[in-house]
Structure 1
Amino acid sequence: MTTNQSILLAGASGVLGRHITRALTDAGHKVTGLGRGPANGVQADLMDRDALLRAVDGRHFDTVVLAATALRKAPLRHRDMHETNALRIDGTVHLIEAARATGARRLVAESMVFGYGYGDHGDHVITEDDTFGPQGATAQLEQHIAAMRIKEQLTFEATGLEGIALRFGLFYGPGGTDAILPMLRKRQLPVADDQGRVLPWIDLVDAASAVAAAVEHGRPGQAYNIVDRTPLGFAAHVRAVAQQFGLPKPMTVPLWMMKPMSYAHVMMRTTMRVSAAKAERELGWTPAYPSSHDGLAALKAAA
């Protein structure tokens, strides 16, 4: 599974999808977008099984990449994740059926490091050997984790397909970081004190290059963590964005004040150190930006 593949990309019009399209095209592959918008070569809704199967009827693809999301902005409350949770389960079921119908051999699915569980993982460095999809501490968290757990199970157990999952850190970079700049400019993005908490990050361009590497070199049935080498607290990252772009320093508030933003509050209470050594070793992939400080500097230089 190397170059000159015909690839169906679900979510091609999204922020990550646009970067993936560029990375795959640069690697010599032919990419066809799948989505609801008219710019897609295959126009269909992943949640509409029958329409999706009609849309791919008579088409052939070597590989299918699932990078679709229902999120249009950063999720703040638990309910903001409900549509994405449904997409992770039902949308994956439908896309697997469509992939088989097109004769595809490989399925590369977007996953997230939060599937290892929200909360404080302490100093432990998480690898792919750690349990993915543990029972959520609350009913709401179980909904989110179950969606990620089931999505990966569906990917790995899809008969006739070589399933691979990429567990991404938090995204930033071209097309992503831009969204928070107006909020920082108006001081509308408060942050909670990190107090030693850190999270894994990944630049969107680096994430896309990992997808291209997985398409060509990923081992069937394997998951790969896709993160940079420098975990950083959420507040520290936002402050770095403000500093890099010469914007006002965000207001720092006690963590308890973020409780009304229930999902963001849980995320900000999480500490995760995640290793991407397996991806670097097996996929031949290395993040161009070892830290978000490096990536943000490059983003500012390109602005």
Structure 2
Amino acid sequence: MRVLLAGASGTLGAPLIRQLVAARHDVTGLGRSGSDRMRQLGAAPLIVDVLDRDALLAAVDGHHFDAVIHELTALKKLPLQHRHMAATNTLRSVGTTHLVEVARATGAGRFLTQSIVFGYGYADHGTEVLTEQSPFGVMHGTEFDVHVSAMVDTEQQAMTAEGIEGIALRYGLLYGAPSDTDRMVSMLRKHALPVARHGGELPFIHHEDAAAATVAALERGIGGQAYNIVDDLPATFRDVVTAIADAHDAPHPLPLPTGVLELAAPYGAAVLGEVSMRVSNAKAKAELGWMPQFPTYLDGAAGVRRGT
């Protein structure tokens, strides 16, 4: 297929371009920068700000795509404050609107959008196993509601666009990107990465597995459906960071009470310390024919050590 990948210069962009090209798709990468890197990976770069509607539509004029993949975020690192999510929320709402227009203007009949499992609700879900049939867009009258609203917005826009097969990918927490891992290990060596002492168990996904699932959804996903893209074993953030520390012979993270972390990082501490959810990936495995290369964070941490 001829694919427009929005967010091609982001964390998931590199593995996605590589895997799309390996699957013999023709990739155009859309981003505000990173043209050299896109070319190196095998994508034709298209440098434009997706929030500038007129410039965006002018940039794609004359192009034809079979599919648009929306992987845009503004997250360069783990968000600590609620305001750190604002730009990403805008990309999930306004950015999706503009990209749906691009899909129509270029004849793309397929649209994949990045969502996230936190749409099931920023809360402790206990032992309940959440599936794609579980309520999504759950709000609790807190500061988290604006983030959930943006997740719902991108999914609804993708799935209700007339004449377009919309698919939502509800990723778990991404890890494993070399730049993110290097930053994490550097912080660990400086004893500058505290974690919640008793954090909730969350669904994670290695960025290579997230990319593979996305390619599978492009090729075999059913329009109007959402897919949970998570690995097989939920874990605490402390578990994952400790495994990566061990893989790199780095010091373990400093465990602190969640209440102490919230004083400096109310969003990040609450998510990693108080939210707990078990999310099923059975639908993605069955319908997409996808299996994670790294079924657990322990496998992923070993993969990070090998540089895979």
Match of residue 240, structure 1, among 228, 240, 243: 243
Normalised TM-score (structure 2): 0.94
Partner of 1:37: 33
Letter in 1 for 2:247: Q
Partner of 1:118: 122
1:181 paired with 2:177, answer no
**Which residues of 2 match residues 112-261 of structure 1 at below 5 A?**
112-138=116-142, 140-175=143-178, 176-194=180-198, 197-259=200-262, 260-261=264-265
Tell me how many residue pairs correspond in the alignment: 297
Letter in 1 for 2:102: A
Asked whether the equivalents of residues 258 and 270 of structure 2 are also in contact (C-alpha less than 8 Å), the reply is: no
Identity rate, percent = 49
Asked whether the equivalents of residues 119 and 266 of structure 1 are also in contact (C-alpha less than 8 Å), the reply is: no
Specify the SS of the correspondent of 2:98. helix
Question: How many Å separate the matches in 1 of 2:195 and 2:154?
Answer: 31
Question: How many Å separate the matches in 2 of 1:230 and 1:162?
Answer: 30
Letter in 2 for 1:286: M
Partner of 1:300: 305
Letter in 1 for 2:166: G
For residue 246 of structure 1, report the CA deviation from its aligned partner: 0.7
Partner of 1:270: 275
Asked whether the equivalents of residues 78 and 263 of structure 1 are also in contact (C-alpha less than 8 Å), the reply is: yes
1:6 paired with 2:12, answer no
Question: How many Å separate the matches in 2 of 1:211 and 1:38?
Answer: 21
Specify the SS of the correspondent of 2:9. coil
Kindly report the root-mean-square deviation, in angstroms, between the aligned alpha carbons of the 2 structures. Answer: 1.2
Unaligned runs of 5+ in 2: 36-43
- 1:177-235 Cα offsets, whole Å, 9 max, x none, are 2221110110100111126x200000000000001000000000000000000100111
Asked whether the equivalents of residues 112 and 169 of structure 1 are also in contact (C-alpha less than 8 Å), the reply is: yes
For residue 265 of structure 1, report the CA deviation from its aligned partner: 1.7
Match of residue 23, structure 2, among 10, 22, 27: 27
Question: How many Å separate the matches in 1 of 2:182 and 2:208?
Answer: 14
For residue 240 of structure 1, report the CA deviation from its aligned partner: 1.3
For residue 301 of structure 1, report the CA deviation from its aligned partner: 2.0
- 1:244-275 Cα offsets, whole Å, 9 max, x none, are 21111111111100112011122121001000
**Which residues of 2 match residues 69-80 of structure 1 at below 5 A?**
69-80=73-84
Normalised TM-score (structure 1): 0.96
Asked whether the equivalents of residues 156 and 164 of structure 1 are also in contact (C-alpha less than 8 Å), the reply is: yes
Question: How many Å separate the matches in 2 of 1:74 and 1:38?
Answer: 21
Question: How many Å separate the matches in 1 of 2:198 and 2:259?
Answer: 12
Question: How many Å separate the matches in 2 of 1:109 and 1:136?
Answer: 24
- 1:148-190 Cα offsets, whole Å, 9 max, x none, are 0111010101111100010000011133322211101101001
Please identify, of 14-23 and 275-284, the stretch whose mean Cα deviation from structure 2 is larger.
14-23
Question: How many Å separate the matches in 2 of 1:85 and 1:262?
Answer: 17
Asked whether the equivalents of residues 198 and 257 of structure 2 are also in contact (C-alpha less than 8 Å), the reply is: no
Match of residue 65, structure 1, among 49, 54, 69: 69
Question: How many Å separate the matches in 1 of 2:137 and 2:219?
Answer: 26
Specify the SS of the correspondent of 1:15. coil
Unaligned runs of 5+ in 1: none
Asked whether the equivalents of residues 245 and 252 of structure 2 are also in contact (C-alpha less than 8 Å), the reply is: yes
Specify the SS of the correspondent of 1:41. strand
Greater than 2 Å deviation, 4+ residue runs: 174-179
Asked whether the equivalents of residues 289 and 295 of structure 1 are also in contact (C-alpha less than 8 Å), the reply is: yes
For residue 38 of structure 1, report the CA deviation from its aligned partner: 5.8
